[in-house]
Structure 1
């Protein structure tokens, strides 16, 4: 646990929050700046700064908790879909440096859903760039 981390403070019961679920390894609570109705966060109880640092067992636990909660938001809240979002690093919009996954219910009803993405799925990229970058990554991951 980090004394300076707001999410560690939430796990320790020092920072007020609306808890949704908890198990031995994870803690889930409502986001205070929600992108949609029901937007919440799932975190490991052990402090890890980001995706590059989190141990595999904590990442697995957080991911499985996020999946369980995603099913609940669809069934209980009537969400039409769910986005899972992790931001790793300040340039990727990470603002709290304790690993977390956003579980964001998505609704056709835009009075419940305020999330808009800057990236537009379905717009093709440059095939040569995709191939070049894919080859570079493949060679270091092989």
Structure 2
């Protein structure tokens, strides 16, 4: 999908925001929803999506970027604390050529430990529900 393509209100994250699809929510405020990636690259891999219908960072209104990034930072602190991570990998893709596969703006937050490699984006297997629920509880308790 091209960077300037129109927003598709039927993408999976839009459906999650409308409550039409389930997610393992770890945080929500007025501007974002954060939930676990069910195909995590590492334990605790969390996605933060704006409630605004933005395809990518270029389509989020400028005035919404600051509040959204403040929420991303708040979630990142909780993820780091929950996993006692030595580092965090935080990334965001824009457009198909940039690696984006779901065309609703989202930021990935992945807790990292020295010497532990990430699984490939989109190549990691689906995590088991019990592990995800344990990770969800740990992140929610860290706020």
TM tier, smaller: 0.7 to 0.9
Larger radius of gyration: 1
Counterparts of 1:69-84 in structure 2, within 5 Å, are: 69-84=75-90
**Could you say which structure has the greater relative contact order, defined with CA pairs below 8 angstroms and 6 or more residues apart?**
2
CA RMSD of aligned residues (A): 2.0
Consecutive unaligned residues of structure 1, counting only runs of 5 or more, are 118-142
TM-score, normalising length: structure 1 = 0.73
Q: Is the 8 A contact 1:26 1:44 kept in 2?
A: yes
2:46 corresponds in structure 1 to 40
Structure 1 runs of 4+ off > 3 angstroms? Answer: none
Quote the residue 2:23 is aligned against.
Answer: 17
> Are 2:59 and 1:50 equivalent residues in the alignment?
no
Q: Unaligned regions of 5+ residues in structure 2, if any?
A: 1-6, 122-143
Contact 1:26 1:61 in 2 (8 A): no
Superposition deviation, residue 104 in structure 1 = 1.2
Return 74-83 or 56-65, whichever deviates more.
56-65
User: Which TM-score applies when normalising by structure 2?
Assistant: 0.73
